[in-house]
């Protein structure tokens, strides 16, 4: 059994914000897989399916970012999902928009959602997809940045790299392959060639 969790905050006011990129990726992944509808379970919006004969669960914790571990631990514990079969999708201030990084294990890097998950699971060996949202320019505060809105240019870059992330997530769901790697939106790759 595999578990894919996208991190974010519940509520209309947080929709489309950089901090909710995990929710956005899960929504787009379900769309790509042709799945619809969530049920409420484990303090989360949850959707289940079977891929290549293996049960796969997708969740969007509704506990707010800082308590994401509560939902994750409940779900993983109930289904006895091994930590190496868990993928967490979150935002990352240290990556610019249009960049993403896949990692097996690691620390929380100051991300409160990941910190909560590590504390709740008592383990940091889960897999993670970190999607770049960049740091705010100038003196703009971090909270205002992560809970603000994307510019059109950023939105385009983010959507472009999410398409690559979706391919990697589907590959993991179908084959269990998940390798440490970094990705950039094609537009960024061209500008740095």
Report the catalytic residues: 19
Q: How many CA atoms lie within 13 Å of 123's alpha carbon, on the beta-carbon side?
A: 16
Q: Which of 30, 20, 28 is nearest to 51 (CA)?
A: 30
**What tokens appear for 160 in the block?**
């472009």
* Strand bridging mode 2-6 / 54-61: parallel
Give the whole-angstrom CA distance, residue 60 versus residue 44.
5
**What tokens appear for 70 in the block?**
């509560």
Give the whole-angstrom CA distance, residue 147 versus residue 163.
23
């Amino acid at each position: 059994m595999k578990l894919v969790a996208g991190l974010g905050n519940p509520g209309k006011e947080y929709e489309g914000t950089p901090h909710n990129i995990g929710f956005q990726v899960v929504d787009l992944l379900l769309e790509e897989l042709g799945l619809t509808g969530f049920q409420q379970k484990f303090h989360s919006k949850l959707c289940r399916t079977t891929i290549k004969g293996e049960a796969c669960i997708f969740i969007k914790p509704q506990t707010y970012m800082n308590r994401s571990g509560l939902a994750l631990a409940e779900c993983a514990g109930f289904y006895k999902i091994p930590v190496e079969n868990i993928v967490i999708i979150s935002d990352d201030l240290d990556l610019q928009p249009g960049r993403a990084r896949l990692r097996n294990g690691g620390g929380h890097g100051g991300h409160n959602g990941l910190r909560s998950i590590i504390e709740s699971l008592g383990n940091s060996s889960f897999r993670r997809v970190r999607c770049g949202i960049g740091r705010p320019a100038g003196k703009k505060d971090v909270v205002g940045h992560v809970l603000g809105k994307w510019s059109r240019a950023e939105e385009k870059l983010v959507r472009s790299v999410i398409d690559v992330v979706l391919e990697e997530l589907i590959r993991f769901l179908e084959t269990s392959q998940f390798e440490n790697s970094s990705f950039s939106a094609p537009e960024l790759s061209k500008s740095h060639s």
